[in-house]
Amino acid sequence: MRRLYHHLFFHFILISIPILSIGSTLDSINRESPLNYLFNKDYGTSKATLEFANFAAQETKKDTSWLKIGGALRLNTIYTHFEGQTFPLGTELRNDWTWDTWRINVDSYSDGLQLSFEYRFYPTFNTHFLKYGWIGYRFNPSTNLQFGITQVPFGLLTYASHSWWFTTPYYVGLEDDHQIGFNFTKEYEGWRFNLAYFLLSEPRGTNELSFGVPASARYSYDVVPVPGNTNIERRQLNLRAAKLLKSGEIGLSLQTHEVYNQQTTHTGRQFAGAVHYENNWGRWNLKTQALYYNFKDVRDDADTPLSFVQMGAYGFGTYDVAAEAAMYTVGISYDIPVSWGPVRNIQVYTDYTYMEKFGEIELNGTTQRFAPTHMLVPGALVSAGKIFCYFDIAQGRNQPWISDIFGGNALGTGRGVNYQEPISSTNPISDKAAWNTRLNINLGYYF
């Protein structure tokens, strides 16, 4: 009887294969090899194509169906020179090779209906969360609607940066931000328009509480609640218009949202605006952007107006962010095609941001302005088959991640003369804060 079952099973398979083949040729929907759709992904040779998979958003055909599953495994190592000290390899995990990230991506498309999903795990600090997850509909090649946890249409898209690091706007929630709501995109006569509304910031994931408050377990930097300051972001509106050029775009973005105190129910508001320009000239790419933001009438649980807000992400502790500032960003890259075994391209780049803060603090009878933040990242992205490696020399002054003391007041008042302590009458804002340097190597396999 078992032999009979095996015999019938193999006959069924042999009969089914040609039937499936005939069906695929008769179907008006483009259905190539399922395995080809499932695993064949072009990650390109730049951060914009590598880190923002989101294949469902890129599909413009209506008459097609497919499913793509992928992800990445990434290792990271660093070597630092912070506050005049160099840390040798293997010191407190600071310079070991660590398992930086692994992520899973799922994209699906069927007759205009879209689904895109990415979940990330950071084993080194026991944190995991959803980066984005949305459903959508492609009305036609120029019109698209996404609903769920989607990228906020603000400033340079997809990124204002070329490096594994971001530019400083990311660290205040103004680059590659994701929120819960909808994003409507329309292209018309050489323009691309976005109208988006977000009810809340993205849901928090899971983190190790010894690293930071639960609300900081998220991909995007947001205002998050901490003891004594229970503010959250909600009801955000975004408008973006970009004139499409032959090899780039120039555009304007506007954003506003409430900052709601869950303890007092007081509502403050954030306003932000940006102008941007990006273009390609052969192998060259240029990204430029100027932005301004202002948190108006934001208050803590004691109803005291705040000159800085608390932001957090990645499961780490929150840090101060000046309530009002302007940022100026420029980034340039150059692609070098090569044929060195599996290595096919090297993209060299430099990204720089200057953050001018408009806050002031009175110390010892005199007024001190908040110190500016600088961030400079020269580096290279090496592409070799499905392996991609960032080599970055990240340098920063009053930058919360490029320091021996994470977070703190770097993006708020700026570091004090004693960088390890809060600003006070005995520890004024330093006008000679250290320039810190971090060599960062991130090696990833993308599948």
Strands 65-82 and 85-86, sheet pairing: antiparallel
Q: What is the pLDDT of residues 116-137, one digit of tens each?
A: 999 999 998 899 999 999 999 9
Measure the CA–CA gap between 107 and 135, rounded to whole angstroms.
10
Cβ neighbours of 349 (radius 10 Å) = 23
Question: What is the DSSP secondary structure assignment for residue 56, as one 8-state letter?
Answer: H
Q: Which two tokens stand for residue 249?
A: 């775009």
Q: Is residue 7 part of a domain?
A: no
SS3 343: strand
Q: Is residue 9 part of a domain?
A: no
Q: Is residue 2 part of a domain?
A: no
Q: Is residue 171 part of a domain?
A: yes
Measure the CA–CA gap between 99 and 216, rounded to whole angstroms.
20
> Which residue's structure tokens are 């609300």?
215
Cβ neighbours of 70 (radius 10 Å) = 20
Average confidence (pLDDT) over 45-58:
90
Total domain count, the chain = 1
Separation of CA 373 from chain center: 20
Q: Is residue 27 part of a domain?
A: no
Predicted TM-score (pTM) of this structure: 0.90
> Which residue's structure tokens are 């695929």?
24
Q: Which two tokens stand for residue 224?
A: 């998050």
Q: What is the pLDDT of residues 325-371, one digit of tens each?
A: 999 999 999 999 999 999 999 999 999 999 999 999 999 889 999 99
Q: Is residue 12 part of a domain?
A: no
Share of the chain above pLDDT 70, in %: 89
Q: Is residue 3 part of a domain?
A: no
SS3 220: coil
What confidence score (pLDDT) does residue 4 get? 40
Rounded to 5 degrees, what angle do the CA atoms 219, 208, 101 make?
A: 45
Domain with 85, as residue range(s), is: 32-446
What confidence score (pLDDT) does residue 3 get? 45
What confidence score (pLDDT) does residue 181 get? 98
What confidence score (pLDDT) does residue 282 get? 96
Interacting residues of 11 by C-beta distance below 8 A, sequence separation 6+: none
Residue 147 has pLDDT above 60, yes or no: yes
Cα dihedral angle (390, 392, 397, 403), rounded to 10 degrees? 70
Q: What is the pLDDT of residues 60-112, one digit of tens each?
A: 988 899 999 999 999 999 999 998 887 655 556 555 788 899 999 999 999 99
Q: Is residue 104 part of a domain?
A: yes
Share of the chain above pLDDT 90, in %: 80
Residue 289 has pLDDT above 70, yes or no: yes
Measure the CA–CA gap between 368 and 271, rounded to whole angstroms.
24
Measure the CA–CA gap between 51 and 140, rounded to whole angstroms.
26
Q: What is the pLDDT of residues 154-167, one digit of tens each?
A: 999 999 999 999 99
Q: Which residues pair with 321 in a beta bridge?
A: 309, 411
Please give the residue that has the higher pLDDT: either 85 or 227: 227
Interacting residues of 16 by C-beta distance below 8 A, sequence separation 6+: none
Residue 98 and residue 170 in contact, taking contact as beta carbons nearer than 8 Å: no
| CATH number for the domain that contains residue 154 | 2.40.160.10
